[in-house]
Chain A
Amino acid sequence: MNSEGSVSIWFFIGISLAGNGLLILGAGLYQVAHPPAEPVVLFRLHANVWWGALLVLAGAAYCYHFRPGR
């Protein structure tokens, strides 16, 4: 929904995805540099790095495409 003068719901979703993605990516990179003493199962795959990066990309695309005033 994006009627005149309003911000699209997809823009809010973009903010949410990008914000969460950045935090997850940051936490993942920190863990790559400082591996935890008790890692989760499949830690070697560094899921928070690539999942965080995917969320940032998706979020940025939504923010750009549905930016206010576009």
Chain B
Amino acid sequence: MNLSLAVFVSPHLVHLSPVDAVIIIFYFALVLAIGFYLKRRSNTSEDYFLAGREMTAWIAGLSFLSANLGALELMGWAGASYQYGILAAHWYWIGAIPAMLFLGLVMMPFYYISKTHSVPGYLKLRYGESSRALSAISFAFMTVLMSGINMYSMALVMKVVLGWDINFSILVSSITVAIYVGLGGLRSAIFNEVLQFVLIWAGALLIPVLGLIEAGGWNNLRLQVAHNASAEYTHLWSTLGSFQSNPMGIHWTGIVFGLGAVISFGYWTTDFLVVQRVLSAKDLRAAKMAPIIGAAFKMFVPLIVILPGLIGIAVLPMKLVGEGAAVGTGGHSYNEVLPLLLARYCGPGLLGLGVTALMAGFMSGMAGNVSAFSTVWTYDIYSALFHKNASDQQLVRMGRWSTIGGVAISIGTAYLVIQFLSIMDYVQALFSFFIAPLYGTVLLGMLWKRATAAGGFWGLLAGTTSSIAMWAWVKVDPSALRYVALSPYARDMAENMYRALWSCLVCVAVTVVVSLLTAPKPASELKGLVYGETEIPSEGELAFYQRPIFWAGVVAVALVAVNILFW
């Protein structure tokens, strides 16, 4: 989600008691203790970058989900729910779950069997060095920038929510992340992500529970939302018939094809930040189950994100406003809805746990970025371009140094953002330029034997270039929105979705055309990489309830049910 976080304008929202401070210190102590404890188990590159490939499906699955469940997500989407109503839940349901199931059932076998260390590593095996280099450099660049933006956002939130100094927040969080990821590598990042996942639920679940009690149950909540905002705010699909009939300014085609088919598949199946967690699974069945477990939990996340936004509409005495209006009037912005509810319901102790959950979310997001950056830098840039014969110990050493380097660059980015706030918007856009075309490239690589090295590289380049061109076109001439997003009424989110859709289609079209004009790879070089040339190991004599396909079916049925329930 594109969050411009210059939104927190009011004096700090909550006041911590001594017991809250102890809970926060306890969290930091535990995180560092885990890092020091795991250092002794991070001696080889396989240990450091892939957590020894010994994670169970549950741990890999929760970590896979948790890497995405940062505090920016929680606060931003709760704010979006206050602003747009239950439509924001599309980003958790159709905008995530089909892609996660697809990753588990279809794509994971190729990632796992190829034994790649990274997504750019798969591109190298499938398409060659040039595609890997393009993908790795873009990913590394974007990842540290995103990490810096997360760091800045966390410091800003802590300043507004708690009144903490920005420099203090940046230094404490970055040093903590550098220590525990640097020492324990991916294993340490994963352990802390699972811990963060539990803390987020323990700290945030009380808000919807108490909110529903105060509102008088779900039916009364809907009535109050209809009274204070609009009855449309509690409908998922029935208002998406036209761009003007819903608060988001989006059409159902944008949600289904842009979000559901391209953006979410691009993010959940090719963004190495999340895919890396699944690559740490102990065997193929665990690797297939992990995204399915993640999808099952993803289904419930709207309880602690979307529902609080609706509760905010119903029970908060003040009207939250957009960022500009909040700055102008000294009021509260949409993105403050979660801290406001935290302060409303949570007394000493609970407040500390809620704040800890937010901090854990931020640090986990930063750790995810840094550990993914470290892996791609070490394997796909350093080892591929500068030191092809690096020993295992040299790789681990470079992994540790690149973790520290990644954190240092993130700190630099955070301070750059403080000076030039508009960078945030550009980086968010840059990130979206790359993910949608990459999905086209990876998917064709896995499912179409005829795709060639030249096709993959030029398709990826054309998709990324076309995405940048569309973005620049609308910046220069805003009326171009009617062509890029199919409507002059489309908002930013709708534009992002259609741009992703077109750039993915451009990538696929160019890959197909160039592939048909160039010589294919021999079938012997495609084994373990492409559907039709890869023997997927049998799952053996498993009962039906032990099979990934069964649980994927259960999650899919539940997804359909909730969409009908909130139609």
Neighbouring B residues of A13 by C-beta, 8 Å: 194-195, 198
B194, closest chain A residue (CB): A9
Q: Give CA–CA (A44, B350) in the complex, Å.
A: 15
| B26 interface neighbour in A6, A19, A36, Cβ under 8 Å | A19
| A55 interface neighbour in B22, B202, B352, Cβ under 8 Å | B202
Produce 1/0 per residue, B326-360, CB < 8 A to A: 00000000000000000111111110110010000
- B349 and A52: CB pair below 8 A? yes
Q: Give CA–CA (A20, B201) in the complex, Å.
A: 13
Neighbouring B residues of A12 by C-beta, 8 Å: 30, 34, 191, 195
Instruction: Please provide the chain A residues from 1 to 42 with a CB less than 8 Å away from any CB of chain B in the complex.
Output: 1, 3, 6-7, 9, 12-13, 15-17, 19-20, 23-28, 30-31, 36, 39-42
Q: Does B206 contact A (CB under 8 A)?
A: yes
State how many angstroms separate the Cβ of B18 from the closest Cβ of chain A: 9
What number of A residues sit within 8 Å (CB to CB) of B?
32
A52, closest chain B residue (CB): B349
Neighbouring B residues of A7 by C-beta, 8 Å: 37
Q: Give CA–CA (A17, B213) in the complex, Å.
A: 25
Which of B19, B27, B41, B344: most chain A Cβ within 10 A?
B19
- B202 and A17: CB pair below 8 A? yes
Interface majority SS (helix, strand, loop, mixed), chain A: helix
- A48 and B41: CB pair below 8 A? no
Neighbouring B residues of A64 by C-beta, 8 Å: none
Neighbouring A residues of B30 by C-beta, 8 Å: 12, 15-16
| A42 interface neighbour in B19, B27, B59, B214, Cβ under 8 Å | B214
- B213 and A42: CB pair below 8 A? yes
Neighbouring A residues of B202 by C-beta, 8 Å: 17, 20, 55
- B26 and A31: CB pair below 8 A? no
Q: Does B509 contact A (CB under 8 A)?
A: no
State how many angstroms separate the Cβ of A42 from the closest Cβ of chain B: 5
State how many angstroms separate the Cβ of A52 from the closest Cβ of chain B: 6
Neighbouring B residues of A40 by C-beta, 8 Å: 343-347
Footprint of A on B, CB under 8 Å? Answer: 17, 19, 22-23, 26-27, 30, 34, 37, 41, 54-56, 59, 190-191, 194-195, 198-199, 202, 206, 210, 213-214, 343-350, 352-353, 356
Per CB-CB distance, the 8 closest pairs between chain A and chain B, nearest first, are A24-B349, A27-B349, A27-B348, A27-B19, A48-B350, A9-B191, A40-B347, A48-B349
Footprint of B on A, CB under 8 Å? Answer: 1, 3, 6-7, 9, 12-13, 15-17, 19-20, 23-28, 30-31, 36, 39-43, 45, 47-48, 51-52, 55
Can you report 29 A-B residue pairs in the complex whose CB atoms are below 8 A from each other? Answer: A1-B55, A9-B194, A12-B30, A12-B191, A16-B26, A16-B195, A17-B202, A20-B23, A20-B199, A24-B23, A24-B349, A24-B353, A25-B349, A26-B349, A27-B17, A27-B19, A39-B347, A40-B343, A40-B344, A40-B346, A41-B210, A41-B214, A42-B210, A42-B213, A42-B214, A43-B347, A47-B206, A48-B346, A55-B202
